[in-house]
Amino acid sequence: MKLQKYNYFNNDVRIIVDESNELWFVAKDICTVLGLDTSMLYEALDLDDYMKVLRESIGMSGKNRNKLVPIINEPGFYNLVFKSRKFEAKQFKLWIRQEVIPSIRKTDMYVTEDTAEEMLNDPDAMIRTLEKFKEEQEKRLQPLETLELDPEQCVEYLTVDDYLIKYVYPNS
């Protein structure tokens, strides 16, 4: 896992990119930015939206290296954003409701202006984008029996209708 640090209006936001290139956010940072109490995390999120990891396993230093830190995945992040009443969260919600969702409904996709311009000027860019999209779709729907599981990485797995959901913290 790779830890990346960002500053959002004088608040640290730490994001972890895992081996599957999925994003995980340090829950405390997101709650601070959104004006939410961290104690409500477990009520606000589904089991598969968060896990606890050892501080040292994600590159966090300090005297509490063996302390478990809650992190939330991308869907969990959006879930928290939609629960917040803070101005920044409202701006984000407006963008999702007024730009992203209507674009997906009308065109079956959301593309930034820069990406659209690149795809119009370079057909290969469009092919790469669509191939990446297809790959992500297939990865999301990959049946359990085709996944290679490393038992050292997680304590246990939850399966739902033959699909894998990793929802607990790594051993190290």
Tell me the whole-structure pTM to 2 decimals.
0.58
Would you call 37 helix, strand, or coil by DSSP? Answer: coil
pLDDT digits (tens, 9 = 90+) for 65-115: 667 888 888 888 888 888 888 887 888 788 878 887 788 788 877 787 888
Would you call 116 helix, strand, or coil by DSSP? Answer: helix
Same-domain pairing of 78 and 136: no
**pLDDT at residue 121 above 90?**
yes
Angle at 41 between CA 37 and CA 42, to 5 degrees: 145
Same-domain pairing of 47 and 116: no
| Averaged pLDDT, 21-50 | 83
Same-domain pairing of 49 and 130: no
Same-domain pairing of 32 and 117: no
Same-domain pairing of 134 and 63: no
Would you call 54 helix, strand, or coil by DSSP? Answer: strand
Q: Which of 39, 50, 40, 93 is nearest to 73 (CA)?
A: 50
Q: Are 77 and 84 in contact (CB under 8 A)?
A: no
| Residue 169 in tokens | 């913290």
Q: What is the pLDDT of residue 124?
A: 93
